[in-house]
């Protein structure tokens, strides 16, 4: 559907871990379904549940929050007692929704069920819900109604991981609750029943925001099925990518492949650059915790939050900003203060956020930019964090004709704009209209034409005999000139009129020209001619790789050679697990891979946690460290025949998978098949 190969990023992702495919902006139907969400740009996350009663503190440790049942290892019977205590008598749905609305937020995502399994809504499929508390009011219904009243969308967070339901697997490692008799299929039926309640009993729902999808029991087939099920209940609903297993760690974007989900979910981070054509939403806390923690005073400043909102919008994303209400049902005062301050800024400046698109500029020294199409042109919203002291706001590298410019806070007063070479200079008043982020509007004729250099790409940055390099630009009315010796292209350099064939190592430079003048900086890329590594002669080999298995707690790959081998054997796949232990282990696989022809090969490891891939003594893939499923790639030139390989892998906590794949001449990316793996007897 929308998971077209994002070819462009892919080509540049040679060794980097940029996601190659994503939640691409899709067809007409998807565009209509996503329209309100893209327009909204700003929403409120609410984490609320039984865990607010201990408020983050347990037996002297003050750093817990919504994970407290697990992080403090509270036995289930003891945790369940909070049900008898939960009585947020000060809860007022209208007040909460008004605070969100007044901050400029357009939707609310609340934890209908978090990982602890407790339901804040009235569910007929469990007694572990709000109706079993002294409070006994379906606050989700009250919130849904208030949202409707104030014109916000109500959205449900729903955790797939469930530490309470007897059928959910796996159990926590520290628990002595037996998994015997548990049946994940039955648990999925339970989730579907609850999701039906959530989607059908509260009017139209904006988003279903899944989470807790990373444990090894959850699978792509389940995710896809759950996505389709929820869409079948309400076709217009939007579903995040955590419904499936495609999320790439905390960066949150969807990895390459056929995964379900409408948008990526970076958690506590903002992508470093915009991601053209991709829907994503950064969720973030105002202090250090999602659930209420009475000791957490580490609040982000209002300035930081307002600038983060602009930063995210300038990269084409949404901002889902969290509030963790208390057990009484109140927003913490520091959250109230920040929401009000953001609201004050939005009062004047929300045009620069709602319905905007990512900045055309890669970098602006004084702040950020968002844009909207207007009749005959483009409106740029210049978010100025550092107001120019000299009265000159420099908009660098823009060739479009300027139209009007004015302060968003005072549209009646025009600002003077003039050109100095490739920059537009806006004359600004001495005093910033807003100390945190003053928005200057600049209209342009037509689409923004900025001084972006061309793109240089080839399948690999190494080659054996020859390679084709393509140099392209999306800009109009331009020619591209290039050099192969690293020098900056001039008017005398050759013009790009197709792929450039290289037969020797080259430093390719390219630059955009228009009307006999350069209209971009130059960009460079290195392509290196290499001699393929020779194959090795082998006799006495057998199918499969040798593995050695280790146990220990590491934050990065240890030197396995120095460790005691706990178990060893021969395997035909990489995803063997000695199942007694799902955490705190490591593997080293050694043997040979048989390749059919000379060429450049790419190898990939996709692992949780760290892994590396070696050919002989060359580390081809570096994917070390503590992380969720994360894929890295590396490339190497190899002769046909046998090559020594070694793969190392370790797992600390959480998910525990290793996938190894490759790609080569006439071989599409695929898992390494057991048929081509060998070891010496
Ligand atoms: O609800 C809030 C948190 O309680 C929940 N998500 C937000 C919105 C959350 N659960 N866990 N975490 C946040 C951090 C967990 C990170 C890890 Fe993983 C889980 C590391 C390894 C497994 C996620 C999946 C990151 C990498 C893979």
Give pLDDT tens digits for 193-231.
Answer: 999 999 999 999 999 999 999 998 999 999 999 999 999
CA–centroid distance, residue 250 to ligand 1 (Å): 7
Q: Could you tell which of 65, 267, 321, 655 is best to mutate to test the pocket of ligand 1, judged by most ligand atoms within 8 Å of the CB?
A: 267
Q: Is 628 in the pocket of ligand 1 (CB under 6 A)?
A: yes
**Residue (of 443, 437, 468, 469) closest to 456 by Cα position:** 469
Distances (CA, A) of 189 to 79, 160, 184, 186, 638: 25, 12, 9, 5, 50
- Among candidates 434, 404, 402, which has minimal Cα distance to 420? 402
Give which of 330, 324, 240 is closest to 279, Cα–Cα.
240
CA angle 83, 85, 86 (to 5 degrees): 70
322 alpha carbon to ligand 1 midpoint, in Å? 15
Closest approach atom of ligand 1 to CA 211: 6
Question: Ligand 1 pocket test: which of 250, 291, 324 has the largest number of ligand atoms within 8 Å of its C-beta?
Answer: 250
Whole-number Å distance, alpha carbon 262 to ligand 1 midpoint, is 19
Only one residue has tokens 């050109």, namely: 419
**CB of 283 sitting under 6 A from ligand 1:** yes
Q: How far apart are CA 464 and CA 122, in angstroms?
A: 65
Residue keyed to tokens 């580390």: 619
CA of 249 to the centre of ligand 1 (A): 8
Nearest protein Cα to ligand 1, atom 3: 290
Tell me the C-alpha distance between 458 and 14, whole Å.
Answer: 10
Closest CA relative to residue 444, chosen from 371, 503, 551: 371
Residue whose CB lies within 8 A of the most ligand 1 atoms, among 209, 211, 582, for a mutation test: 211
Residues 6+ apart with CB under 8 A from 673: none
Ligand 1 test: best mutation among 284, 655, 656, 657, most atoms within 8 Å of CB? 655
Q: How far is the CA of 426 from the centre of ligand 1 (A)?
A: 45
Question: Ligand 1 in contact with 654 (CB < 6 A)?
Answer: yes
CB-neighbour burial class of residue 435 (10 A; exposed 0-12, middle 13-18, buried 19+): exposed
∠ CA 668-674-676, nearest 5°, is: 70
Query: What whole-number distance in Å separates Cα of residue 21 and Cα of residue 15?
Result: 15
Both tokens of residue 59? 């037996």
> Angle at the Cα of 17 (from 221 to 678), degrees rounded to 5?
70
Where helices occur in 62-174 by DSSP H, the ranges are: 68-71, 76-80, 82-85, 93-103, 139-150
Residue of the nearest CA to atom 6 in ligand 1? 211
CB 421 within 8 A of CB 451: no
Give the residue ranges of DSSP H helices in 271-321: 302-314
Q: Is 625 touching ligand 1 by the criterion CB < 6 Å?
A: no
pLDDT reported for residue 50: 98
Residues 6 or more apart whose CB falls under 8 angstroms from that of 530 comprise 462, 463, 464, 637
Atom of ligand 1 nearest to the CA of 627: 26
Tell me how far the alpha carbon of residue 212 lies from the centroid of ligand 1, in angstroms.
7
Task: Mention every residue, 6+ apart, whose C-beta is less than 8 A from residue 641.
Answer: 534, 535, 536, 594, 595
Task: Measure CA of the first residue to CA of the last residue in the chain; give whole Å.
Answer: 48
Residue nearest to atom 25 of ligand 1 (CA): 249
Nearest CA to ligand 1 atom 27: 628
In a 13 Å sphere around the CA of 669, the CA atoms on its Cβ side amount to 17
Structure-token pair, residue 424: 């537009």
Cα–Cα dist 16/523, whole Å? 18
Ligand 1 geometric centre to CA of 232 (Å): 28
Residue to probe by mutation, ligand 1, list 218, 628, 651, 653, most atoms within 8 Å of CB:
628
- Pocket lining: 116 vs ligand 1, CB cutoff 6 Å: no
Q: What is the pLDDT of residue 7?
A: 32
CA of 440 to the centre of ligand 1 (A): 38
For ligand 1, atom 1, which residue shows the shortest CA distance? 290
Say yes or no: CB of residue 249 within 6 Å of ligand 1: yes
The residue among 346, 318, 336 whose CA lies nearest residue 436 is: 346
Q: How far does the centroid of ligand 1 lie from the alpha carbon of residue 654, in Å?
A: 9
CA-closest residue to ligand 1 atom 14: 250
Q: How many CA atoms lie within 13 A of 65 on its CB side?
A: 19
For ligand 1, say whether the CB of 655 is within 6 Å of any of its atoms. Answer: yes
Report the separation in Å between the CA atom of 627 and the middle of ligand 1, taken as the mean of its atom positions.
11
Strands in 392-395's sheet, in edge-to-edge order, are 392-395, 423-427, 417-420
What does the pLDDT read at residue 628? 81
User: Ligand 1 centroid to 253 CA: how many Å?
Assistant: 14
66 CA distance to ligand 1 middle (Å): 11
Q: Which atom of ligand 1 is nearest to the CA of 115?
A: 4
Ligand 1 centroid from CA 537, angstroms: 47
Helix, strand, coil content of the chain in percent (nearest 5): 20, 35, 45
Predicted local confidence at residue 23, as pLDDT: 56
Please indicate whether residue 267, judged by its CB atom, sits closer than 6 Å to ligand 1: yes
Tokens coding 244: 């499936």
Q: CA angle 201-109-94, nearest 5°?
A: 75
Beta strand 462-463 with 523-529 is: parallel
Task: Specify the DSSP element, H or E, that contains 568.
Answer: strand 567-571
Task: Give me the half-sphere count of Cα atoms (radius 13 Å) on the Cβ side of residue 507.
Answer: 8
**DSSP SS3 for 281:** strand
- In whole angstroms, give the CA distance from residue 345 to residue 434: 8
Going from the Cα of 656 to the center of ligand 1, the distance in angstroms, rounded, reads 14
CA 78 to chain centre: 36
For ligand 1, is residue 5 a contact (CB within 6 Å)? no
Residue 628 three-state SS: coil
pLDDT at 216: 87
Structure tokens at 102: 């007044």
66 Cβ closer than 6 Å to some ligand 1 atom? yes
Give the residue ranges of the chain where pLDDT is below 50.
Answer: 1-22
CA 99 to centroid of ligand 1, rounded, Å: 27
Strands 567-571 and 545-551: antiparallel
């Amino acid at each position: 559907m929308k998971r077209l190969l994002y070819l462009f990023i892919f080509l540049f992702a040679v060794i980097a871990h940029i996601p190659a495919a994503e939640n691409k902006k899709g067809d007409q139907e998807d565009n209509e379904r996503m329209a309100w969400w893209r327009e909204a740009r700003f929403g409120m996350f609410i984490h609320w549940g039984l865990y607010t009663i201990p408020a983050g503190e347990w037996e002297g440790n003050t750093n817990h929050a919504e994970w407290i049942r697990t992080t403090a290892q509270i036995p289930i019977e003891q945790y369940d007692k909070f049900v008898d205590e939960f009585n947020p008598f000060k809860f007022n749905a209208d007040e909460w929704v008004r605070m969100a609305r007044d901050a400029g937020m357009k939707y609310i995502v609340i934890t209908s069920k978090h990982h602890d399994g407790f339901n804040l809504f009235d569910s007929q499929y469990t007694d572990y819900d709000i109706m079993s508390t002294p409070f006994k009011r379906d606050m989700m219904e009250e919130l849904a109604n208030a949202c409707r009243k104030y014109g916000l969308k109500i959205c449900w967070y729903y955790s797939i991981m469930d530490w309470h339901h007897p059928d959910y697997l796996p159990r926590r490692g520290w628990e002595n609750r037996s998994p015997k008799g548990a049946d994940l299929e039955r648990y999925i039926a339970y989730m579907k029943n609850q999701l039906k309640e959530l989607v059908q009993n509260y009017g139209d729902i904006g988003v279903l925001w899944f989470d807790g999808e990373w444990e090894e029991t959850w699978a792509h087939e389940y995710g896809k099925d759950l996505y389709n099920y929820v869409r079948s209940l309400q076709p217009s609903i939007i579903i995040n990518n955590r419904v499936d297993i495609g999320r790439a760690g905390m960066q949150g974007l969807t990895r390459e492949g056929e995964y379900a989900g409408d948008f990526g979910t970076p958690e506590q981070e903002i992508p470093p650059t915009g991601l053209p054509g991709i829907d994503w939403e950064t969720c973030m806390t105002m202090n250090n915790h999602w659930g209420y923690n009475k000791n957490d005073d580490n609040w982000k400043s209002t300035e930081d939050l307002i600038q983060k909102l602009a930063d995210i919008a300038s990269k084409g994303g949404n901002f889902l900003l969290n509030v963790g209400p208390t057990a009484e049902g109140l927003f913490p005062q520091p959250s109230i203060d920040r929401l009000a301050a953001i609201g004050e800024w939005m009062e004047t400046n929300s045009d620069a956020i709602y319905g905007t698109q990512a900045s055309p500029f890669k970098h602006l020294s004084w702040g950020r930019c968002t844009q909207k199409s207007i009749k005959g042109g483009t409106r740029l919203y210049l978010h100025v964090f550092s107001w120019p002291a000299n009265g000159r706001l420099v908009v660098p590298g823009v060739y479009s004709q300027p139209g009007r410019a004015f302060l968003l806070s005072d549209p009646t007063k025009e600002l003077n704009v003039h050109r100095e070479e490739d920059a537009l200079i806006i004359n600004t008043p001495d005093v910033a209209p807003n100390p945190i982020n003053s928005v200057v509007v600049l209209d342009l004729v037509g689409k923004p034409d900025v001084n972006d250099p061309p793109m240089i790409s080839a399948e690999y940055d190494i080659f054996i005999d020859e390679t084709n390099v393509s140099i392209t630009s999306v800009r109009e009315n331009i020619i591209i000139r290039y050099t192969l010796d690293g020098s900056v292209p001039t008017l005398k350099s050759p013009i790009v009129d197709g792929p450039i064939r290289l037969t020797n190592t080259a430093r390719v430079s390219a630059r955009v020209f228009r009307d006999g003048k350069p209209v971009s900086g130059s960009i460079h890329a290195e392509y290196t001619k290499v001699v393929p590594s020779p194959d090795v002669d082998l006799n006495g080999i057998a199918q499969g790789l040798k593995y050695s298995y280790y146990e220990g707690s590491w934050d990065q790959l240890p030197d396995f050679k120095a460790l005691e081998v706990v178990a060893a054997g021969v395997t035909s796949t990489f995803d063997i697990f000695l199942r007694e232990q799902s955490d705190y282990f490591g593997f080293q696989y050694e043997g040979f891979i048989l390749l059919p022809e000379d060429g450049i090969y790419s190898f990939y490891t996709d692992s949780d946690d760290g892994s590396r891939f070696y050919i002989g003594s060359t580390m081809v893939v570096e994917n070390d460290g503590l992380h969720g499923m994360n894929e890295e790639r590396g490339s190497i030139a190899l002769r046909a025949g046998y090559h020594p390989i070694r793969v190392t892998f370790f797992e600390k906590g959480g998910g525990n998978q290793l996938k190894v794949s490759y790609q080569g001449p006439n071989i599409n990316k695929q898992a390494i098949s057991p048929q081509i793996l060998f070891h010496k007897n």
